[in-house]
Chains A and B, each alone.
Chain A
Amino acid sequence: MINPASLPNTTMDSAPRISQSRIPEPPETLLPQAAPAFKVKQLSLWYGEKQAIKNVTIDIPEKMVTAIIGPSGCGKSTFLRCLNRMHELVPRTRIEGEVLFDGENLYGPGVDPTIIRRRIGMIFQKSNPFPTMSIADNVLVGLRLNGVRKRQILNERLEKSLRMSALWDEVKDDLGKPGMSLSGGQQQRLCIARAIAVEPEVVLMDEPASALDPLATMKIEELIRELCVDYTIIIVTHNMQQAGRCSDRTAFFFMGQLIEFDQTERLFSNPKEKKTEDYITGRFG
C-alpha cells in the first residue's frame, strides 16, 4: 500500500529536477509542440571498444518526417537501428541510456525486440524483396508469419498496402509474379508496402533512395510525404536536398553526436551551430 502522505513530497522533489534539466536546451523549446513518438535520453552505443553514438538526447515527433543527416560514419544509421533494436544483429554492441517509445523503454528488462519491430518497421538502402516469393506474398509475409490466416483480411491489406506505397496500379495484374521481377524503384516501393502491411506506427528508412535513379527517388519522396499522415517516419539520408524536400525536422549528426535538431527549414536556412553550417554549405562531408 502507498502511504498517501508521501505522495506530495515525492512530486515536489522530482518536479524541480525535471524543469532544471529542460532549461538548458533552448532548441527544444523553439520547436512547436508536437507529441513525441520517441524520447531518446543520453543514448550511447559501442561496437566493441569503439563508441559510435555519444550521449544523444532527442525527442522525435510523431506523424512527421524527421531526417537524420551527417557525413559518412557519423553514426546516423547506427542511431536509426537503435530505434528498433536492429543493431543487436551486430555482435559485441553495448548500449547505455534510454529510448522511450510510447512511454516504454525499448531497452527495459523483458522487452521483446520482435514485438518492438512489429510496431517500428524498417526500410533498407538496398531493396530486398524475398526472392522465393511473389509480389503478393512479399507484401503479406509479415502478416502470414505472424499468424493472420483470414483471406479477406489478407486481400484487403494487400491492396491497401500496395495503394499506399503507390505501386498498386503498376502491379495489380501481376500480383503472382516474383517480387524480383520488378524494377529497382518498384522493388523499394514493394519493400515499403511490405513494411506498412503489418501496420506499424513508425517506419524507419535507412537511405531508402540512395540506390535509385532520380525519377524513382522522386516517387519515394512523394510517398514519404503521403505516408507521414499516418506514420511517424525517420529517414537517414546523405542527401541534404532530400532532407530539405521531404522532412519536417532535421537532425544533424557528427562523430556520433547530435549537433543540432530543428525544423528542417530553419536548420538549413539559419543553422545555429558552426559545424552544421559548414556541413550544409558543403565545406566538408
Chain B
Amino acid sequence: MRGDQHTWRKIKSGAASTASSVAALVVVAPLALVFYHLVVSGIGSINWAFFTNLPKPVGEVGGGMVNAIVGSGELLGLAALIGVPVGVLGGVYLAEYGGARTNSLLRFVADVLNGVPSIIWGVVVYGLVVLRFKSFSALAGGLALGLMMIPLIMRTTEEVLLLVPGGYREAALALGISRWKTIVHIVMKTALKGIVTGILLALARVAGETAPLLFTAFGNRFWNHNLHEPIAALPLQIFTYAISPYDDWHRQAWAGALVLVTMIFVLNALVRFLTRDRAVRIL
C-alpha cells in the first residue's frame, strides 16, 4: 500500500515537471522557428543593394529597401520626440507628485491605453491629422507611434522611480535642495538606466507596428524629402511586398522581415545589457 502511494506520487511529480518543461519549450520554440525560417528565406536576398538601393519599378527584379529602413528610423525618431518627454514626465508625476486617487485613475487609464489595439491609434491619428491636413505624412506616422509609446514609458518610468529608496529623496531635501532638483539630479539620475530601458522597450515594441502606419505614414516607394509627405517604413514595405504577386518581392519581404526582427533583437539585447546589474532589472 505504501509502496503504491510512493509510486503514484512519483508519477504525479514527473507529470508536473514534464508539463511545465513542455510549456517552457513552447515559449522558446516559436522564437527559434521564426528566426530559423526568416534566416533561411531571407538571407538569400540580403546583399549590399538591399541596404543601399531604392525599390525598382514594378516588374523589374532587384532593388532594395534603403528608404524603408531609413524611414523606420525617422518614424521612431519622431515617435521618441513625442513619447519620451510626455511618457517620462508622466511617470515622474505618478511616482513623485500624484496623490493616491489621481494615481490609481492615471494608472488605470495608462493600462487601458496599453491594451488599445494598435490599429485604433492609426484611425485616431488619421481622423485628427491626416484628414485635417489632407495628406498622409511622416509626422502623422510618428505621432501614432509616439502616442502608443506614452503609456508604456509612463508606467516603466514610474516603476523604476519608485525603486529608488526614499532615503535618497530625504537626504537631498534635507540638504536644502529643491523638490524638482532632487527629482532630476538625484532620483532620475539614480534610475537613469531603468528609464532608458523602458524607452528602448517601448521603441522595440512600436518598431514593428504596421497597423497604425497604414493610414498615417502610408508608405512610399521613394525617398521622403518632407515630413508632411508619406514615408516608407519597414513593416509597411514588408506588408506591401508580401501580399504582392511577384516572387522577387516575396524574397525581399523575407529579407525585410529578417532585418526588422534583427533590429528588435538588438534593441532587446541592449536592454539586457543595460539591466545587467540587478537593481534596475524589474522588467
Contacts and interface: CB of A to CB of B under 8 A. Distances in A.
Contacts, number: 71
- Interface size class, chain B: 20 to 34
A118 B100 CA distance: 30
Interface string B185-220: 110011010000000000000000000000000000
B177 A132 contact: no
A141 interface: yes
B174 A146 contact: no
A263 interface: no
Contacts of A117: 173-176
Interface string A121-157: 1101010101110000000011001100000000000
Contacts of B173: 86, 89, 114, 117
A209 to B, nearest CB: 16
Contact of B177 (A91, A116, A131, A146): A146
Contacts of A194: 171, 175
Contacts of A89: 166, 169-170, 173
A128 B175 contact: no
A191 B171 contact: yes
A251 interface: no
Given A141-B175, A142-B176, A146-B176, A132 B170 contact: no
Contacts of B169: 89
Instruction: With a 10 A CB-CB cut-off, give which of A131, A194, A200 has the most chain B CB atoms.
Output: A131
B281 interface: no
Contacts of A195: 174-175
B176 A128 contact: no
B171 A128 contact: yes
A89 B168 CA distance: 13
Contacts of B170: 86, 89, 122, 124, 128
A122 B177 contact: no
A146 B166 CA distance: 21
Interface string B146-176: 0000000000000000000111111111111
20 contacts: A84-B174, A86-B174, A114-B177, A116-B176, A124-B170, A128-B168, A128-B170, A128-B171, A130-B171, A130-B172, A131-B168, A132-B190, A141-B185, A145-B175, A145-B181, A191-B171, A194-B171, A194-B175, A195-B174, A200-B176
Interface of B: 99, 165-179, 181, 185-186, 189-190, 192
Interface of A: 84, 86, 89, 91, 114-119, 121-122, 124, 126, 128, 130-132, 141-142, 145-146, 191, 194-195, 198, 200
Given A130-B172, A132-B192, A142-B177, 19 more contacts: A86-B173, A89-B170, A91-B99, A114-B177, A116-B176, A117-B173, A117-B176, A119-B176, A124-B170, A124-B174, A126-B167, A128-B171, A130-B168, A145-B185, A146-B177, A191-B171, A194-B175, A195-B175, A198-B175
8 nearest interchain CB pairs?
A: A118-B176, A142-B175, A122-B174, A128-B167, A117-B176, A128-B171, A145-B177, A145-B181
